[in-house]
Structure 1
Amino acid sequence: MTSRSAGPGPAVPDLADTLRRRPTVRLGADVDPAWRAALAEWALSNGLEVTDGDATLAITTNPTQAARAAWVHSPFAGVEHLAPTLPDDVVLTRTTGTMPGRIAEYVLTWVLAERWQVARYLAQSTTAAWDASNPPASPDRREAVVVGTGAMGAAIARTLAALGYRVVGLSRTGRPDGAFDAVLPLAEAFGPAESGAAESRRAAPGPATPEPLTHGLSTGVAQVFDPARADVLVLALPHTPQTDGLITPALLRAFERVHLVNIGRGSAVRTATLLDALDTGRVRHATLDVVEREPLEASSPLWRRPDVTITPHVSGLTLPSDVVACLDAALTAIRAGSRPASAVARDRGY
């Protein structure tokens, strides 16, 4: 199996012709048994024969199961196991479906739960304690930052905006998106602080090494973005070599008592980096649906901190109907000779 190139991906017309000549699909051994009937029914209704051997389309997250397929579809949003290994001439698509809406609901739930001190009142309920001191209050800073402005990030931005937040998106390109009040390139927003990202990504997990805060905002950027004003910081990043360890200690020190919510990939922020930010008060609370190593080991200090909430990677569970809908849209586009909206850009890995 050859390695991929840095290009955006293969042309589609060749795949459309292959599908006409060999309309076959293979369901990978890793596909949830409960989904197989729905996927087989989808294949049959679209004139595709399900086979256990080589096929034109492979539905799988396992590169071995995808061998010799011209089109590979991931039944999940993440493609980190597939994108770096598939040959250049393979079309790779992924599933999003209704996942962005569910993830936005998750973020809304925990932003409100933290603001309304839900954990505190649940604990008081179990001990019959009536304590009305320090009641919940609306945040002084109605600003939120979402790192990652794809479908997930945009849904989160719209949901937070409905709560009255001004939402700034940070992305690789800074391409405008109507879901956000402003979108900035991450490098422009934090400037020289990102020079430390490569070193952070190379470092083995361990105690965070203090770094001087070197970010400096240009006058134009400072008018629309000041991390110190943010009440909520949401990480909605995929796992790629570029996002691995992207959230550095220096970057987090630009914030002041922010609520960090990570629904993307745990690799974006090192555990040591997060613990340092919690200890210094730059992050007042961390809600983590993803962590650096999953499942999170029982010995992790994250379990024992009252300023950390952990959920077991449940914010964006994929439904079989999501997989069928994404496959249907992709197949329609391919048969028309168009690039599917769900196609992965191989140079970016998402």
Structure 2
Amino acid sequence: MELQNILVTSRMYKELESIIEKEDKRGKAFRYVDEKHIKDEDLRWADAYVSFYPVENFAFHQLKWVHSLGAGVDRYVQLDSWKEDVLLTRTVCSFGERMSEYCLSYMLSELQYHDAFQKAQNKKKWQPLEPILLSTQKVVIYGTGEIGQAIAEMLKQFGVHVTGVSRSGTRNQRFHQVVTAGDEASYLQEADWIINTLPLTPETNHMFNAEWMNILQSAYFINVGRGATVDAVALIEAINKRKIKKAFLDVFEVEPLPESDMLWEHKNIVITPHISAVTTPEEAVACFLDTLDRIEADKPLENKVDLNRGY
């Protein structure tokens, strides 16, 4: 595939421009535009589109390639119609490492009783509690792709027992076992922690609903996948029933999370503003340029999106 006119748009388009102009010697024509100011003529000019998501007036026109600056591509896949001859790729960088450290930080905080000791300190009370070892924990990770594997590999180093859940149930050495989605009930009942890394697809939309949550036995829940995979009303009810001990949410069905949303107020929900796996300009450019080189050299693409699967 030969590409010449590349449209780059995002909230950090100036940072991307600065890095690309320093590193790129490929002789391509680039156009850098704030995502709020994309015009139809920009889209008609381009044969490649680089952004976190499609802008409101997005149209394919002469596009051959669309590259997502993030790992998630649900906004692209959910477009009314996708031109079959347009390639879709996504950014792959340190997301697995970042999400692993995000999950580990909250696991240790709970197991080491950080909140309890802080409250005791504020009251000037000496109240010993015995920290819980990571090696005693059982974790179920939904999604056995790159991110799920990275989290599993990190946790196994601490002696954590890790079960993966995937569509196929294909065995993976980074997990102690992998089970097919729908066959994981017995593992959920024994789980101390459940971590969601799933993309948003028609199959995963509100997958974590009341029926699913009723299986749990007071487990912690971490969502670093997609917000719409979780039924928020059912989640709050499950926490109130102690089916879920505490939830750590980095992604939401509507972002930014509206001030009126009931999730803000719950004492057993921790909210972070979609920061578990940020895309830095440097990593975004590195992945983009590597993908560009591979496309033009007709080399295999590990970050190519399967439009039928939605990831």
What TM-score does the superposition give when structure 1 sets the normalisation length? 0.78
**Which residue is equivalent to 2:125?**
130
**Which residue is equivalent to 1:186?**
181
CA apart distance, 1:121? 2.3
Amino acid aligned to 1:25: I
**Which residue is equivalent to 1:217?**
none
Give the whole-Å Cα distance in 2 for the aligned partners of 1:144 and 1:111: 11
Give the whole-Å Cα distance in 1 for the aligned partners of 2:130 and 2:265: 24
Q: Deviations over 1:223-244 (max 9, x none)?
A: xx52221111001111222211
Tell me the secondary structure at the aligned position of residue 286 of structure 2. Answer: helix
CA apart distance, 1:36? 2.2
Tell me the secondary structure at the aligned position of residue 74 of structure 2. Answer: coil
Tell me the secondary structure at the aligned position of residue 238 of structure 1. Answer: coil
Pick one of 19, 24, 30 that aligns with 1:38. 19
What TM-score does the superposition give when structure 2 sets the normalisation length? 0.87
CA apart distance, 1:142? 2.2
**Which residue is equivalent to 1:89?**
85
Tell me the secondary structure at the aligned position of residue 195 of structure 2. Answer: strand
1:148 aligns with 2:143: yes
Give the whole-Å Cα distance in 1 for the aligned partners of 2:175 and 2:252: 26
Give the whole-Å Cα distance in 2 for the aligned partners of 1:160 and 1:249: 28
CA apart distance, 1:107? 0.4
Give the whole-Å Cα distance in 2 for the aligned partners of 1:148 and 1:177: 11
1:103 aligns with 2:64: no
**Which residue is equivalent to 2:27?**
47
Q: 1:132 to 1:94 in 2, by over 3 A?
A: same
C-alpha contact 2:134 2:160 (8 A) present in aligned 1: no
State the superposition RMSD in angstroms. Answer: 2.1
**Which residue is equivalent to 1:296?**
257
C-alpha contact 1:175 1:184 (8 A) present in aligned 2: yes
C-alpha contact 2:169 2:180 (8 A) present in aligned 1: yes
- What 5-or-longer segments of structure 2 have no aligned partner? 33-41
User: What percentage of residue pairs aligned between the two structures are identical?
Assistant: 28
Pick one of 46, 49, 64 that aligns with 1:70. 64
Give the whole-Å Cα distance in 1 for the aligned partners of 2:194 and 2:303: 27
**Which residue is equivalent to 2:73?**
79
CA apart distance, 1:141? 4.8
Give the whole-Å Cα distance in 1 for the aligned partners of 2:70 and 2:307: 17
Q: 1:293 to 1:317 in 2, by over 3 A?
A: same
C-alpha contact 1:329 1:340 (8 A) present in aligned 2: no
Tell me the secondary structure at the aligned position of residue 182 of structure 2. Answer: helix
CA apart distance, 1:256? 0.9
Give the whole-Å Cα distance in 2 for the aligned partners of 1:287 and 1:139: 18
Pick one of 1, 6, 9 that aligns with 1:28. 9
Q: Deviations over 1:297-347 (max 9, x none)?
A: 333333233222111111111111221222233223222323411111000
Give the whole-Å Cα distance in 2 for the aligned partners of 1:94 and 1:265: 15
- Residue correspondence of structure 1 range 170-209 to structure 2 within 5 A: 170-190=165-185
Q: 1:31 to 1:59 in 2, by over 3 A?
A: farther
Q: How many residues align?
A: 295
Tell me the secondary structure at the aligned position of residue 183 of structure 1. Answer: strand
**Which residue is equivalent to 1:338?**
299
Give the whole-Å Cα distance in 1 for the aligned partners of 2:133 and 2:267: 21
Which structure has the higher relative contact order (CA within 8 Å, separation 6+)? Answer: 1
C-alpha contact 1:253 1:282 (8 A) present in aligned 2: yes
Pick one of 99, 114, 123 that aligns with 1:118. 114
Give the whole-Å Cα distance in 2 for the aligned partners of 1:314 and 1:123: 26
Q: 1:329 to 1:272 in 2, by over 3 A?
A: same
Tell me the secondary structure at the aligned position of residue 187 of structure 1. Answer: coil
1:58 aligns with 2:49: yes
Give the whole-Å Cα distance in 1 for the aligned partners of 2:188 and 2:248: 18
Amino acid aligned to 2:15: A
Q: 1:29 to 1:319 in 2, by over 3 A?
A: closer
CA apart distance, 1:51? 3.5
Give the whole-Å Cα distance in 1 for the aligned partners of 2:131 and 2:143: 29
C-alpha contact 1:31 1:59 (8 A) present in aligned 2: no
Give the whole-Å Cα distance in 2 for the aligned partners of 1:102 and 1:261: 14
**Which residue is equivalent to 2:35?**
none
Give the whole-Å Cα distance in 2 for the aligned partners of 1:178 and 1:289: 27
Give the whole-Å Cα distance in 2 for the aligned partners of 1:141 and 1:272: 31
Give the whole-Å Cα distance in 1 for the aligned partners of 2:163 and 2:218: 17
